[in-house]
Amino acid sequence: MSRFIELPLEGCFLIDFDPNKDDRGIFFEWYKSSWEFKAQPFVPGQANVSVSYQNTIRGLHYGTYPDPQKKLITVLDGEIYDVLLDVRKESKTFGKSINVKMSSSVPQGIFIPDGIAHGFSVPIGSATLCYLVSNEYDPFHEQSINPLDTSLGINWQIGGSPLLTNRDRDAPSFKSVFE
Q: What single-letter DSSP state applies at residue 151?
A: G
From CA 83, how far away is CA 80, in angstroms rounded? 9
Active site positions, annotated: 61, 131
Superfamily designation of domain 3-178: Jelly Rolls (2.60.120.10)
Mean pLDDT by 10 residues, the chain (179 residues): 91 92 90 76 91 97 87 97 97 96 96 96 98 89 95 94 96 95
From CA 7, how far away is CA 71, in angstroms rounded? 15
* pLDDT of the residue at 39: 66
The DSSP string of 117-149 is EEEEE--SSEEEEEEEESS---GGGEEE--TT-
Residues 112/98, Cβ–Cβ less than 8 Å? no
This prediction has a pTM of: 0.93
From CA 179, how far away is CA 177, in angstroms rounded? 6
